[in-house]
Chain A
């Protein structure tokens, strides 16, 4: 049943560019898709380890800048009269480097910030993102500061024997984002249902108990942070090569908030949650645009967030799944209630 829904959903998403010709809507779908990837990576931390990182956009932005600078090249002076010159590399190398560098940053940030929990963790992560934003704003020689990095090349896929395929059109980019999103989804699903995934959930439920049964909490959290940051970096790279211009505003706190809203409204700790929440909140501005002034849209945005937290505090997907499970258990009196997210087989 679950598999059928998944296949139908993927098929529906894959068919969109075939019948949707409106470039504005297609553009909204592509940027939403990129943010959904970011939201999925955030969900790995928030939903499966219980750590709310409000600096997640830092990894997204780092991915975007690394990818852009790799493909544009740079020439900067370092202390001690050393000049660091980098000739442009193909964008696909930028994409790979973005994932690696963002993951490395995730490692260091995780190492430092997992020393504290709760509200303190939240504030450390916000601070990290703000420091990165200020560096991007002030290190003008490298990042061009507020003038932005422009003319970022589109991603070109190397096809052996045929040269390369430049992904310029909206339809090509749509499929690129869809493929990366599916890969990230499958990776996270596989991870969550592994032994490692159970360790993550264990420490989310009860950290003291998890430690007592031999789970290395810091190591588990750090690995989750690295993978989460790497996926966010991939999303950032897609963003840079699709929009083709980035400035320090990519690090704005509101972008993190957007991802958090996508995760919480869809349902944290549910694999499909960030996708559902992401599509709703990514496309909400598109739906509101014809009827409201921009400021009023944001008021509505904040209002919808508060309303969802009051009405469906568990998120849309878990709430619906629970209702569905209850109805089925009502029909077959004593059948065990199927918990959500058990469709994927456990690895041996």
Chain B
């Protein structure tokens, strides 16, 4: 029983960051119809920003998260402006392959700059975990959960309570009509990609110190993000949050009770099962953002 409770605690921590990854991708996928293969690189990028700020510049750990969000936002906007905007109107395969090209180039760039040796980040949290009866959780993981929850809330408010969010939802429903109503669709696309990228960078910055940081860390994160998006349904933020926790639970239980070697297979098995039995996602309302 206590083992099961421990898995639940781990699921909460992991699920929060997975939800961040999923929200970022579901916004981009849903609004822009772009299969974003650079999402994993942005995750890696966020983790390396954490490493630079904390280890190389020696600055405060808590400062690193906002820096990573901002850097992810800027890099995302740059990718959208240089690669996606000129390809507006091309078919989905072309943009997807350009994103694959960008992913290969950027990941190799990371490898070139920082090398393949895994990096770790020292955190200001005490070594001893917080013990709650039969289960324990490290302070770092608690911080990760709290920060992820806060970012999820901010994004939810941004989409549902601001005029930018309203324009994004309108663009998702029908970009032609949105454009006729005076929404600057190009600007919405750039903002969407930048916001999605900053969330991926935030997820990387949060999970980087929990594990280790290396150039290929984003590959699996990207596929997991796709699994979450498919679970939750396209453009569905609440679905992405629930999908993130379901994936985390499946991984925890799979690793705990089946075999730790198959932990990462859970995401893929979920993708295959959902798409075969319920291709619209588990929480499909009529397709809309929100």
Which A residues are closer than 8 A to B by beta carbons? 52, 112-113, 115-116, 118-120, 122-124, 126-128, 130-131, 134-135, 137-138, 253-254, 257, 260-261, 264, 293, 295-299, 301-303, 305-306, 309-310, 313
Interface pair A123/B105, CB less than 8 Å apart:
no
Is A119's CB under 8 angstroms from B29's CB? yes
Known pairs A119-B35, A257-B104, A306-B83; A127 contacts B223 (CB<8 A): yes
Interface of B is mostly: helix
DSSP class of A's interface residues: helix, strand, loop or mixed? helix
Do B265 and A130 touch (CB < 8 A)? yes
* A123:B262 contact, CB within 8 angstroms: no
- Assess whether A120 is in contact with B275, with CB atoms less than 8 Å apart: yes
Take A126-B223, A127-B268 as given contacts and tell me if A115 and B279 are in contact as well, using a CB distance cutoff of 8 Å.
Answer: yes
**Complex partner residue of B261 from A52, A138, A257, A310, CB under 8 angstroms:** A138
**Most A Cβ at <10 Å: residue of B87, B106, B271:** B271
Query: Across the interface, which residues of B come within 8 angstroms of A113, CB to CB?
Result: 275
User: Can you list 10 A-B pairs, Cβ within 8 angstroms, ordered by A?
Assistant: A112-B272, A112-B276, A115-B276, A116-B279, A253-B219, A260-B100, A302-B105, A306-B102, A310-B98, A313-B94
Please, what's the 1-or-0 string for B214-253, where 1 marks a CB less than 8 Å from any CB in chain A? 0000010001001100100000000000000000000000
Known: A115-B275, A119-B96, A130-B223. 10 other contacts (CB 8 A): A115-B279, A119-B33, A120-B230, A123-B275, A134-B264, A138-B259, A298-B107, A301-B104, A303-B105, A309-B94
A302 to B100 CA separation, bound complex (whole angstroms): 8
- A131 proximity list for chain B (CB < 8 A): 265, 268-269, 272
- Which chain A positions have C-beta within 8 A of B262? 134, 138
Q: A296 to chain B: closest CB distance in Å?
A: 6
Identity of the chain B residue whose Cβ is nearest the Cβ of A254 in the assembled complex: B104
Q: Which of B92, B112, B223 contacts A118 (CB 8 A)?
A: B92
B112 x A295 contact (CB < 8 A): yes
Is the Cβ of B272 less than 8 Å from the Cβ of A309? no
| B272-A128 in contact (CB<8A) | yes
Could you tell me how many residues of chain B have their Cβ less than 8 Å away from some Cβ of chain A? 43
Does B256 sit within 8 A of A, measured CB to CB?
no
Distance in angstroms between the alpha carbons of A71 and B111 in the assembled complex: 38
List A contacts of B96 (CB < 8 A).
52, 119, 122
- Cross-interface CB contact of A302 among B103, B227, B268, cutoff 8 Å: B103
Q: In the complex, A135→B269 CA distance in Å?
A: 12
Would you give the shortest CB distance from B112 to chain A, in whole angstroms? Answer: 4
Bound-state CA distance A120–B96 (Å) is 13
B204: min CB distance to chain A, Å = 19
Q: Determine whether the beta carbon of A122 is less than 8 Å from that of B94.
A: no
B268–A293 CB distance below 8 A? no
Alpha-carbon gap, A119 to B234, bound state (A): 11
CB B42 to nearest CB in A, in angstroms, measures 15
B102 lies within 8 A of A302 (CB): yes
Chain B's closest residue to A121 (CB) is: B275
Q: Which residues of A contact B111 (CB under 8 A)?
A: 295, 298
Considering only CB atoms, which chain B residue lies closest to A140 in the complex? B261
Contact A305 B35 (CB under 8 A): no
Pick from B35, B90, B103, B261: contact of A122, CB under 8 Å: B35
| Contact in complex: A293, B275 (CB < 8 Å) | no
B100 touches which of A115, A298, A305 (Cβ 8 Å): A305
A93 to B34, CA, bound (A): 44
Question: Whose C-beta in chain A lies nearest to the C-beta of B93?
Answer: A52
B270 to A, closest residue via Cβ: A127
The answer, yes or no, to whether B129 is at the interface (CB within 8 Å) is: no
> Do B108 and A302 touch across chains, with their CB atoms under 8 A apart?
yes
